[in-house]
Chains A and B, each alone.
Chain A
Amino acid sequence: MVDRRLFLLGGLLVLACAAFLLWNLRAPYGFILGLRFTKLASLCVVGAAIGTATVLFQTIAANRMLTPGIVGFDALFIFIQTMLVLTLGGVGFAGLPALAQFGVEAAILVAAALGLFSIVLRKGAEDILRLVLTGVILGVLMRGLASLAQRLLDPSEFAIVQQASFASFGAVDRTQLAIAFVILTCCLLAALRIARYLDVAALGRGVALPLGLDYDHVVFIALGLVALLVATSTALVGPITFLGLLASSLAHAALPTWRHSRLLPAAALIGAVILVAGQFVFERLLGLQSTLTVVVEFAGGVLFLFLVLRRPRP
């Protein structure tokens, strides 16, 4: 039976979407609704993808303070943007076919993530901590390389890289969005399909294996889904590091359960609600532009510090 709280979250998302679409709507209705719908869909897709990916990642890492971003996805994305601008120049970068750029960036991110997972975990999924630490170090390396490369750029090219380094929902290509939607839907369905295996995997390798779970297999599927979800959303709009932490923590608070069949949709819905409601408040009510991701990062960062510093339960 579906949890009633999931219906409430769904209702909340519908309300936020309706407000975002219809608030202060003026003629020409069709044109404005079309623009708003594209932005709304990208907010929902990215929010749901990052929320789902974070719950999956935290389950595998057995740590509710981590986000997939910590293993260097964001740094790699910024590095790719920097190298593209450095090699093609500002004009060349701007002239890149959007769909091809999206596809190549998503493919590089997925390949890098899967490469990292398979190299670090080649002897089995025993050492998730080593995976996280390797990802953090690679992220620092990528950031360092990107920073070095950015010093070689002229000011206008540097501004282009800076703009591409923050998530932006303003000009999302509809074809890319459709592709991202299909990938998200497939990943979400796959995650729900392995939800009951994730319940056992959350007990940790030492408990799950003797219970008969093919732990390594489940871990690799979950990490593959994380790679696809984060790479797709990052290539679509850019990096948002701490949104997942917010979505996952709120999902655990709203539905205090270990059942992933409820946690995964809850995190997906909450991720989407945060972005849609936040964008509605900033764009429609406050008349501000492009500040949402900064606020999400700030709130997520504060939450991260709270989780790190709070006293452990006795």
Chain B
Amino acid sequence: MIEIENLTVSRSGAEILKDVSVKFGAGGITALIGPNGAGKSTLLNAIAGLIKPEHGRVTVGGCDMISARPPERASHVALLAQNEHVTARLTVRELVSFGRWTHHHGRPQERDLRMIEEALEAFDLGPLAERRLDALSGGQRQRSFVAMAWAQETPWMLLDEPLSALDPRHVRGIMDRLHELTRPGQGQRSIVIVLHDLSVTARYADRIVAMKDGRLVTSGPRLLTMTGGMLSDLFGTGLAIETVAGRDVVVPS
């Protein structure tokens, strides 16, 4: 479980997160939603221990992420930041193999090589494995980074807008794969994902954490918390949830 207590984060004198307290239950997909500037990315970075808060506490599986050393943090959470890119000229396989770095520190073993192959296959990257990242489209690169985070094999994956450059087929492909990973069974992962596509949220999220202006608005199971009224208040525009072909979609009201 991720537990956040009274977390306040400031940058240049401005409070980005204001006394946020929330718990993320293990298993399933938790969608972090809210308008631009709500503090979603900052919250993910704080969970990963990359930001020192003014005050408050963040624990993941009992590990204090604020005081933990980077290798310990990396054994609990894999973070894929927003619009991440690398300047090194890597192939897709090489990038994904860096996901195993926390396990092998530059000396990959049999299990690491197997996980790299599984990650490539899981995210439909086999045919692109030997291509250089700078020769890929934005969406292909994005999938490569998600595969790298997956290969890290941590109980928690924190993904900041991983769908932003993807076409509908790959949005569905990645979300289906992430959904499978969070089901009970061997190698089950828990995922916290920042999403702006509310219909994707309605389809895949098990739980919702909604934020606005650096504060927590609401959190809980999607079916209970994600209502047209809540979304309209959160985003400051009329939104409604309708059912089309048996699935919830979010539309302007």
Contact = CB atoms under 8 A, between A and B. Distances in A.
B90 A210 contact: no
Contacts of A63: 87
Interface in A7-40: none
Interface of B: 48, 50, 69-71, 73-75, 77-81, 84-90, 94, 98-99, 101-102, 105-107, 134, 152
B79 A210 contact: yes
Given A207-B84, A207-B86, A215 B105 contact: no
Contact of B73 (A206, A212, A256): A212
A214 B70 contact: yes
Interface in A177-224: 196-197, 199-200, 202-204, 206-207, 209-215
Given A203-B86, A207-B84, 7 more contacts: A209-B48, A209-B70, A210-B74, A210-B80, A211-B101, A212-B102, A215-B70
Interface residues of A, number: 23
Contact of A258 (B48, B80, B94, B152): B94
Question: Main SS of chain B's interface residues?
Answer: loop
Of A62, A204, A206, most B-chain CB atoms within 10 Å: A206
A313 interface: yes
Question: Main SS of chain A's interface residues?
Answer: loop
B90 to A, nearest CB: 6
Given A209-B50, A210-B50, A213-B70, A258 B89 contact: yes
Contact of A203 (B73, B98, B106): B98
A43 B101 CA distance: 38
B159 to A, nearest CB: 11
Contact of A211 (B74, B85, B89, B94): B74
Given A200-B101, A204-B86, A214 B69 contact: yes
Nearest to A200: B101
B78 A203 contact: no
27 contacts: A62-B87, A196-B106, A196-B107, A200-B101, A202-B86, A202-B87, A202-B88, A203-B98, A204-B85, A204-B86, A206-B84, A209-B50, A210-B48, A210-B50, A210-B77, A210-B80, A210-B81, A211-B98, A211-B102, A211-B152, A212-B71, A212-B73, A212-B74, A212-B101, A213-B70, A213-B101, A314-B134
